[in-house]
Structure 1
Amino acid sequence: MPIDRRSLLALSSAAAAATFLPRTAAAQATAAAAGFTQPPLPYAEDALAPTISAKTVGLHYGKHHKSYFTKLNELAPGTPFEGLSLQEAITKAKADGNQAIFDNAGQAWNHVFYWNQFEDGPAAPEGAFLEAVNRDFGSVDEMKAAMVAEAGKVFGTGWVWLVAGDGKLEILGLQDAGNPIAEGKTPLAGVDVWEHAYYLDYENRRPDHVKAVLDNLVNWRFVGEQMPA
């Protein structure tokens, strides 16, 4: 897994098993004896406005994201998932066919990644990542257009992900709690296309939401730092 631009962060249960998350330990998370812990937002709720309103961030982070951690902490105790990191829980749940754990661990992880990719954004792609984008998509604009198009193909709820795998960059549209880790891919950027992520601000205009997020919020330098070595 890639090393983020600041630190290799532990977000874990009592055993403090590691998962990579792009935040400083002091600002984001500690190993919690009570179970899985939702990290704080890395910015104020209004920091993403007007692309994503403070009201949407408050509901999305404070209600929806929080609920995945709450449910996971109800499901995990006394099971083989107790003491695992989110990343480990996702992988094991996928292998074991445990849909409830997969959904809640996946959504908990997905959203932590989602919030963190916006800090210090927008910033332009650069270096090896930019070279890979040009190689695999032709240009940054063509990559963004492909992500917007893929988001429109996700039926109902889900995510659109930019990932690295098999020596190239790819775009994955995954339903519900779909997570690239479970697909053997390295997540680089992800846009939530559940309605709670955009409906207050964009109503049914999902493509407008995805395009605005990619153009106005994503820190593409951070995205490049997720590239596998």
Structure 2
Amino acid sequence: MAFELQPLPYSENALEPYIDAQTMGIHHGFHHGGYVKNLNTALEKHPDLHNQSIDDLIRNLNTLPEGVRNAVRNNGGGHFNHSIFWTIMGPNAGGEPTGAIATLINEVFGDFENFKTQFNDAGAKHFGSGFVWLVRTTDNKFEIVSLPNQDCPWSEGHYPILCNDVWEHAYYLTYQNRRPEYLKQWWNTVNWNAVNERYNIATSA
């Protein structure tokens, strides 16, 4: 079955003033929507892959036929990454982390301010387009990593817990070339309840 673009879990203006409605509409409808459309087109000639979930495709990327692998990496990755990105943000969110993720941050990174500094630094220094992630690695460590374009930590077996999109289309209408400012303001949108859900899955998988 064809993959579908799911609606945003909130209105396009719900994250203002930190992320403007026009950016959200373009980012979700055109960019994420384009990834979904291109992924479905790439899979048309591979009916044997139609019963796989996006998680399956990304997790087993290196086993896919060579003729479709790059399309799944780029477009499937874009679908996978954005599907996480929308859900770990929300209106009336932000603030200090709570629950198990707060405990983890304090244990691994010292405190929330130090974690934000390291996370933002990884995003600010990332060359070109991509995402910055908090992941549980294959050897059960928790690390901040940045990956280019639409590459996914899940392709390497690392479970994604939290991410921020540092492609220019994610912030340019409001912040222009001021990526560090975007990275700083983005924390006001983080839905820690959703992040805790992903953390719980990461630790129980």
TM-score for the superposition, normalised by structure 2: 0.90
Equivalent residue, structure 2, for 1:7: none
- Pairwise CA distance, 1:193: 0.5
Corresponding residue pairs, total: 195
Q: Does the 8 Å contact 2:96/2:112 carry over to 1? A: no
Q: Give, in angstroms, the shift of residue 137 of structure 1.
A: 0.5
Question: Which runs of 4 or more aligned residues in structure 1 lie more than 4 Å from their structure 2 counterparts after TM superposition?
Answer: none
How far apart are 1:109 and its partner, in Å? 1.1
User: Match of 1:172?
Assistant: 145
2:15 to 48, 53, 61: 48
Q: 1:198 to 1:94 in 2, by over 3 A?
A: farther
* Residue of structure 1 equivalent to 2:134: 162
Q: CA deviation at 1:82?
A: 2.0
Gap regions ≥5 residues in structure 2: none
Contact 2:60 2:155 in 1 (8 A): no
Query: 2:156 & 2:182 partners in 1: Cα distance?
Result: 25
CA contact (8 A) 1:124 1:219 kept: no
Deviation, structure 1 residue 123: 5.3
Higher helix share: 2
Aligned to 2:100: 128
Contact 2:129/2:167 (CA < 8 Å) preserved in 1?
yes
Are the equivalent residues in 2 in contact too, given 1:163–1:186 (CA < 8 A)?
A: yes
Matched with 1:101 is 72
Paired residues of 1:94 and 1:102 also in contact (CA < 8 A): no
Asked whether the equivalents of residues 59 and 157 of structure 2 are also in contact (C-alpha less than 8 Å), the reply is no
CA separation in 2, counterparts of 1:40 and 1:145?
32
Q: Which residue does the alignment assign to 2:25? A: 58
3-state SS, counterpart of residue 226 of structure 1: helix
Q: Aligned-pair distance for 1:125?
A: 1.9
* Segment drifting more, 116-125 vs 78-87: 116-125
Q: Which amino acid aligns with 1:100?
A: A
One-letter amino acid of the structure 1 residue matched with residue 58 of structure 2: I
For 1:9, the equivalent position in structure 2 comes to none
Q: Contact 2:134/2:161 (CA < 8 Å) preserved in 1?
A: yes
SS in 1 for 2:49: coil
Q: Which residue number in structure 2 is paired with residue 69 of structure 1? A: 36
1:152: how far off? 1.9
2: CA distance, partners of 1:137 / 1:95: 35
Cα deviation, residue 222, structure 1: 1.6
8 Å CA contact 2:133–2:145 kept in 1: the answer is yes
CA distance in 2, matches of 1:127, 1:49: 26
Q: 1:73 to 1:122 in 2, by over 3 A?
A: same
Aligned amino acid, residue 92 of structure 1: N
Please list every run of 5 or more consecutive structure 1 residues that lacks an aligned counterpart in the other structure.
1-13, 15-34
TM-score normalised by structure 1 residue count: 0.81
Identity value in percent: 37
